[in-house]
Structure 1
Amino acid sequence: MAAGFALVTESLLDVGEHLSAVSDATHGAVVTFIGQVRDHDPDASGRVTGLDYSAHPDAGRIIGEIADRVRGKHPLVVLAVSHRIGHLEVGDLALVAVVASAHRGDAFAACESLVEAVKAEVPIWKKQYEVDGTHSWVGL
């Protein structure tokens, strides 16, 4: 049976690892969300060239609690979610969430709940670098 996981890490995020963690013969639906660093942001005056993500020491515990809460509301799903911290370049994966279930409705609903909660509740901040050398903090 698939186990899943929830973590905040400095390691590169591997979509295949997330898929493997939720893989099970009983799951007919697998929903994947990939959040990657883009070259623009509403808070930036110019093109974004990279980000430094920082996390509160409790971030790992909080992402785990969010995963538990989503599983509590959607008991038929298995999920794997990771948020990366450290320096990321444009195109790097910052957030990966994979949810599997027997049916797509459960998987879609749980994945949306998971991603929205991670973005809103996990204490992670980003220092955003722009092409002109300036930077700004987002999410403080």
Structure 2
Amino acid sequence: MSQQAKVIVQTQDFNVAEEYALLANDISDGAVVNFVGKVRDFNDGSDVTDLTLEHYPGMTESVLNQLAEQAYDRWPLNKVTIIHRVGTMGLGEQIVFIGVTSAHRKAAFAACEFLIDFLKTKAPFWKLEAGSDGDKWVEARDSDEQAAKMWQE
């Protein structure tokens, strides 16, 4: 890996503006692409009141670092940041931040999409959604699996 990714798993929220500023401070980068995932109020036709994310400490960070390394291998990237929250989060709260920089936009967009697609299918996180129907563990979506398969072709 040509660069070291910034990978953090934490309970506290993150500041998008601060993370963007850290990514955007290199004049050789022509593109900075960010993705922020948030807790929404529905899933699969049911209401959601909050989300609890559990993870496997150590293994989770290792998988996220491996994903970043794969992105560095596939595209000419300068910086990669992955921040993922764990614990209980309310509606509208931020869950995940992915930021990448590159000299060119196509590489930055592709790498950002690749990272979220694989994060959703490969990283050891477990989601427990609370709603009016009670608590339920969320299974991996077929659409997420299909999105990840697209990158393998």
The two structures have a TM-score, normalised by structure 1, of 0.88
* 1:87-126 → structure 2 map (5 Å cutoff): 87-126=88-127
Match of 2:150 in 1: none
Shift of 1:139: 3.4
Structure 1 residues 65 and 118, CA gap change in structure 2 (3 angstroms): same
1:65 matches 2:66: yes
Runs of 4+ aligned residues of structure 1 deviating over 6 Å after TM superposition are none
CA distance in 1, matches of 2:76, 2:13: 29
Shift of 1:16: 2.2
Match of 2:53 in 1: 53
Match of 2:135 in 1: 135
Q: What's the % identity of the aligned pairs?
A: 31
Contact kept in structure 2, 1:80 and 1:99, CA below 8 Å: yes
Gaps of 5+ in 2: 141-153
The two structures have a TM-score, normalised by structure 2, of 0.81
Q: Return the structure number with greater helix share.
A: 2
Report the count of equivalent residues.
136
Deviations 1:50-106 (A, max 9, x none): 011000121111111111111111133311111110010010011111111111111
Q: 82-91 vs 19-28, which deviates more?
A: 19-28
